[in-house]
Amino acid sequence: MHIDLGLDNFLQLLVNGLINGSAFALLGVAFGIILGVTGRFHFAFAFTYALSAYIAAEVGLAWNLPFWLAMVLGAIAGLVLGVLMEFLVYRPLARRSGAYALLTIFVSSLGLAIMGENLLSIIFHSSASESISGVSITAIKVGSVDFTSLNVEMVLTSWVLILALAVVMSRTKFGRMVRAVRSNPDMSLVVGVSPGAIFLAVFAIGSLLGGVAGVFQAAQTAATPSMGFEPIFYAFTVAFLAGAARPPVVVGLVGLAVGIVQSLSGLFLTSQYAGLVVFAILFIYVAVRPLQLRSVLSRPAPLPAA
Amino acid sequence: MEIQVNYINEILIFVTFAVSLNLLLGYTGQVSVAHGAFGALGGFALGYLWLHHHTPLIYVLPIGFVIAGAAGMLVGIPALRLTTEWLILLTLAVQVIIVGLISTSNTFGGAYGLQDITKLQIFGHQLSSPTEQFPLYLVVAALALALCWRFGESPYGRVLRAIREDEPATRALGKNVFAYKLTVFALTSAIAGAAGVLLVVQSTVASPGTFSFDLSTAIIAMVIFGGMGNLVGSIVGAAVIVLTTPFFESVIKLSPQFSSLWRLVAYGLLLVLVMRLRPQGLIPEGFTVRGLVRRGARKPEPVLGGQTLEASSVSAPAAVPVGGGFPTTVPRAGAAGDSGAAATGSGVAGPRHAAPPEPSELVAERARHRGELVLSVKGLSKNFGGIAAADDLSMELHRGTITALVGPNGAGKTTVFNLLTGAIRPDRGQILLNGQDVFGMTPNKVARLGMVRSFQDVRVFSRLSCLQNVMLGVQGQIGEHVGGLLLRPVRSFTDERETRDTAMRWLDFVGMKDMAAVLTGALGFGQQKLVALARVLATEAEVLLLDEPASGVDQQWVDVMLELIEQLRPEGRTVCIVEHNLNVVGRLADNIYFMELGRISAEGSFSELTGDERLAQAYFGTA
């Protein structure tokens, strides 16, 4: 263990954490709204994420578009794919599977993600990565801390989107409908809100936001076919830690916290291990979560009281 | 030739992985994506021990087995109380952490892993070519298959499948669910560890990339495609998935680079299609060759441990086969279900007016002690937040009597049953069962001590047959415990036959004998209630807590249930029923407790309570 507690190092790590954390926040919010409202373990989020990045790269290059426009188009591509997956795969499957829906959808989603990764490889020619053109990155230095203009754009965009979603959820009629369906899909049907339509809408929103995150990652490094797999683990972690039915800002803040903790772990751990910190947090949380204060291994989960 | 043998070897290795995951996922219903990581533990154990210590393979195999098994048990502990999505998450974290730690560690070669793991031998026999390695893989795969078969297709496996279907119901029958889950986690991880060792033998390299999340998903694909809950299916699944690579290379003649990509696209597509079109997999659960033969002979006899697809009352051969592991879309058994299709005589014959098949010594013993205090409850209390679900409750049950617990909805009647059996831990109170304090005991312990309960929402094990459901009620089965299962095979075989006979007698008592081979998920609600009753009766427990045995069914079923319960009284059983139906209560109950808002506000006989105006008002609202 190499401990460097110098202030400069600390500040750099903190800023890195804020940057990564904002990405995690967006991922968590995007995945979380899908999970919270539909209950679907949408592993293929990795696919919509990566597709958005590729489309942004391709159209940006082909039509010589500015970054923002390419990003929007890429995110829309992700949106369309996400909606199609819900409509064509998940929904018919959920109807048939009844009580086993969670598992069948998870497995299908896994299948879609695997298909997606390899189709991207084939279509965009194996694992050659694609950079997004039209991105201008200028380095910024504040005091001793380094970051880039792209980082700033990503952080701002992420939080603007999260706040926008928060406003929509809490103040618009649509947001109320979404919250109704999240809380009780059957009851929503009774009062005239169609869960089916809302499911499609949240897949659209989640895939769109995820796509934005994907484009930013590709702008930072490059688009690769498997680029979605690591972020999706972060998306899961943040969404489950926060609780998928929480408001977007809460989920976002949890994402930020995760990013900061991961980054600051670099004070004590080498960078290789830092990558595992998030999973360690997840593991500890999941392992400890069901325990109540005085409960013992042999205590089973209580039955619902009638 | 060597190339072909190499593929066969690879299939054998993946068979080892797949049958073990099937036991965990297909039989016990635990979704784990960490199987690759457990393989990594075995594989890297080999790499490290061989390269650094020249430990012979014959020792490394058991070492890898034990290490992976221990890790599996450690993972199993937090996994005990998790629902599916959390379990997926936990095992995901485990997968990433284990492989991540290995790949960041210099001892294990970092990201590239350990190379040049060659010149291995076993029993003096060199293992350098595929043909030389073949016997090793065959033996290990066969052992793994035999072990998983023994655990899965046995009374032990029946309990595993019950756990998959409904954990609380399984616990209520006296099974220690946590012990089963821990054992299965440990065993299946251990086998995966052994398979990991083999994988490294075959490839001569131990790299983190081999054991990644991709491996876990590949194994899941094999199990799902082959058929969850069917080990033969896993063999087929492994073969198919392994052979897609040469298929794409030789048959479709793609370049190796493209063929590996298309192969993965194909197998992702396969997962999606299987889930959509045939979720039970290629070979569904319970499908046996015997069953196939029997279907020809048209005899619906239940097969030991498995089940035939035949069900005499089930129509529609064109429908999705009954017995599908997952999920089943089953045609409703045509016979008299709940309201509407009532047809006396078809499906359910009413109860034979034979006596319940209790062992006569037991009956005599109970008759001797009729009227004695069996269950004594004092001061039972439970608060949920600010709400007193049970408030200083006291009650008594006497042997050979039927006591009723009545009251308006929300009074807390089911909660009392939950508290008595330990499904919910009470805050305070004393519960003496035959003088023994069972306060704070787990439901399975309470059940074994002689107090069982049925559920308001029935909770039969849908993908198990009626007979299997009732067999799970029978206590003291040798084959349900690891020791008996492995060490006393002959005895457990005869024991199983006795269990089956006992279960059939109870099914006969409730009139469901003809439906013994039918999956309970195919039954109507009334029929399910009868099976659930038979199941709880088969425990031969002293005290039966029946939660709304006659609710949710129409009159003819109520009468059937009534007659059955009435026949228990002369057998000396102690019964307590929660009921809303006052006819039932009036006819059955020797003593009645009236509950309101968590407390018992009155006690007495039927005429006493119905005569009281205030109670009528509380029960029905304003008069």
Over the stretch B580-619, which tens digit does the pLDDT of each residue have?
Answer: 888 888 888 889 998 888 888 888 888 888 777 777 777 6
pLDDT digits (tens, 9 = 90+) for A49-61: 999 999 998 888 8
Helix (H, G, I), strand (E, B) or coil at B465: strand
Rounded Cα gap, residues A111 and B268, in angstroms = 4
Nearest to B268 among A97, A114, A298 (CB): A114
Q: State residue B317's pLDDT score.
A: 31
Q: How many CB pairs under 8 A join A and B?
A: 160
**How much is the pLDDT for A294?**
35
Q: Which residues of B touch A93 (CB under 8 A)?
A: 275-276
Q: What percent of chain A has pLDDT over 90?
A: 51
What ipTM does the predicted assembly reach?
Answer: 0.86
- Tokens linked to B615: 């109670």
Q: Which of B212, B236, B257 is the last residue of a domain?
A: B212
Q: What's the confidence (pLDDT) of residue A59?
A: 87
Alpha-helical runs (H) found in B404-442: 413-421
User: What pLDDT digit, counting tens, does each position of B366-406 carry?
Assistant: 777 778 888 999 999 998 888 888 888 899 999 889 999 98
**CA–CA separation, A93 vs B327, rounded Å?**
11
Whether pLDDT at A224 is above 50: yes
Task: Kindly state whether residue B223 falls inside one of the protein's structural domains.
Answer: no
Nearest C-alpha in A relative to B426: A302
How many structural domains does chain A have? 1
**pLDDT (tens digit, 9 = 90+) per residue, B210-252?**
998 889 989 999 999 898 889 999 999 999 989 888 887 777 7
For residue B155, name the pLDDT band (cuts at 50, 70, 90).
very high
pLDDT at A291: 57
pLDDT score, position B254: 67
Query: What's the total number of domains in chain B?
Result: 2
Q: Phi/psi of residue A214, each to 5°?
A: -65, -45
pLDDT at A1: 52
Count other Cβ atoms within 10 Å, centred on residue B112.
Answer: 13
Nearest-by-Cβ selection for B443 from A100, A102, A300: A300
- pLDDT grade for B25, boundaries at 50, 70 and 90: very high
Residue, of B346 and A173, whose pLDDT is higher: A173
Residue B108: per-residue pLDDT = 86
Mean pLDDT of B442-453: 92
Residue A298 inside a domain? The answer is no
The one-letter amino acid code at B62 reads P
Residue B54 lies in a domain: yes
Confidence of residue B355 (pLDDT cuts 50, 70, 90): low
Distance from CA of B577 to the nearest CA of A (A): 15
Residue of B25, B171, B261, B417 to mutate when probing chain A, most A C-beta within 10 A: B261
pLDDT at A100 over 50: yes
Q: How many CB atoms lie within 10 A of CB A161?
A: 22
pLDDT tens digits for range B515-539: 999 999 999 999 999 999 999 999 9
- Are B389 and A116 a contacting pair at CB < 8 A? no
Q: Which residue of B has its CA nearest to A298?
A: B442
Q: What is the pLDDT of residues B480-503, one digit of tens each?
A: 998 888 888 888 899 999 999 999
Evaluated on CA atoms B513, B519, B523, B527, the torsion sign reads positive
In this predicted structure, what is the pLDDT of residue B70? 96
Residue B294 pLDDT grade (very low, low, confident, very high; cuts 50, 70, 90): low
* Tally of CA atoms within 13 A in the half-sphere of B473 that contains its CB: 30
Q: How does the average pLDDT of chain B come out, rounded?
A: 83
Residue B409 belongs to domain with CATH number? 3.40.50.300
CA pair distance A205, A34, nearest whole angstrom: 8
**Residue numbers in B near A113 (CB within 8 A):** 268
Q: Is this prediction's pTM over 0.80?
A: yes
Question: With 60 as the cut, is the pLDDT of residue A126 above it?
Answer: no
Task: Please list the residues that pair with B384 across neighbouring strands.
Answer: B387
CA distance, residue A149 to nearest chain B CA (Å)? 32
- Reply yes or no on whether the pLDDT at B71 is more than 80: yes
Please report the pLDDT score of residue A129 as a whole number: 61
The pLDDT, as a whole number, for residue B346 is 37
Would you state the pLDDT for residue B473?
A: 93
How much of chain B, in percent, has pLDDT values that exceed 70? 87
Of B212, B231, B259, which closes a domain? B212
Average pLDDT of every residue of chain A: 86
**Does the residue A174 lie in any domain?**
yes
Find, in chain B, the residue whose alpha carbon is nearest to that of A305: B415
Tokens representing residue B351 in the block: 């109860």
Cβ neighbours of residue B84 closer than 8 Å, sequence gap 6 or more: A102, A103, B31
- Domain contains B269: no
Q: Which residues of A touch B548 (CB under 8 A)?
A: none
Q: Which of B32, B83, B85, B460 to mutate to test the interface with A (most CBs of A within 10 A)?
A: B85
- Residue B160 covered by a domain: yes
Nearest Cα residue in chain A from B389: A305
At A128, is the secondary structure helix, strand, or coil? coil
Task: Tell me which residue in B261, B271, B414 faces A122 most closely, judged by beta carbons.
Answer: B261
Q: Is the pLDDT score of B309 beyond 50?
A: no
Q: What is the pLDDT of residues B397-439, one digit of tens each?
A: 998 899 999 888 777 888 999 999 999 899 989 999 988 999 9
Q: Are strands B428-433 and B436-437 parallel, antiparallel or unpaired?
A: antiparallel
Residue A201 identity: A
Task: Quote the minimal CA–CA distance from B264 to chain A in Å.
Answer: 7
Nearest Cα residue in chain B from A116: B265
Does residue A155 belong to any structural domain of this protein?
Answer: yes
Å from A257 to nearest chain B CA?
Answer: 19
Nearest-neighbour CA in chain B from A230: distance (Å)? 10
Mutual angle of helices B155-165 and B489-510, in 10-degree steps: 50
pLDDT at B419: 92
For residue B390, give the 3-state DSSP assignment.
strand
Q: What is the pLDDT of residue B37?
A: 96
Residue B128's pLDDT band, with cuts at 50, 70 and 90, is: confident
Q: Which residue of A has its CA nearest to B224?
A: A107
Distance (Å, whole) CA A60 – CA A46: 21
Q: What is the pLDDT of residue B459?
A: 93
Check CB contact under 8 Å for B97 and A276: yes
Give a yes or no: residue A304 inside a domain: no
Residue A21 lies in a domain: yes
A110/B88 CB distance under 8 A:
no
- Rounded-to-integer distance, Cα B618 and Cα B581, Å: 15
* pLDDT-derived band at A159, boundaries 50, 70, 90: very high
**Mean pLDDT throughout A119-128?**
74
CB-based contact A114 B267, cutoff 8 Å: yes
Q: Is the pLDDT of residue B321 over 60?
A: no
Structure confidence at residue B290 as a pLDDT band (50, 70, 90): low
In chain B, what percentage of residues exceed pLDDT 90? Answer: 45
Digit-coded pLDDT (tens) for A2-58: 566 678 888 888 999 999 999 999 999 999 999 999 989 999 999 999 999 999 988
Alpha helices in B278-322 (DSSP H): 289-297
Alpha carbon distance, N-terminus to C-terminus of chain B: 89
CATH of residue A99:
1.10.3470
End position of a domain, from candidates B195, B212, B229: B212
Closest approach of A93 to chain B, Cα-based (Å): 6
Query: Which domain range does residue A210 map to?
Result: 7-288
For residue B121, what are the domain limits? 2-212
DSSP single-letter state for residue B522: G
In whole angstroms, give the CA distance from residue B172 to residue B417: 11
Whether A302 is in a domain gets the answer: no
Q: Determine the residue of chain B that is closest to A117 in CA distance.
A: B265
B264–A117: do the CB atoms touch at under 8 Å?
yes
Which residue has 């910024």 as its token pair? Answer: A140
Q: Is B256 inside a domain boundary?
A: no
Q: Is B258 part of a structural domain of the chain?
A: no
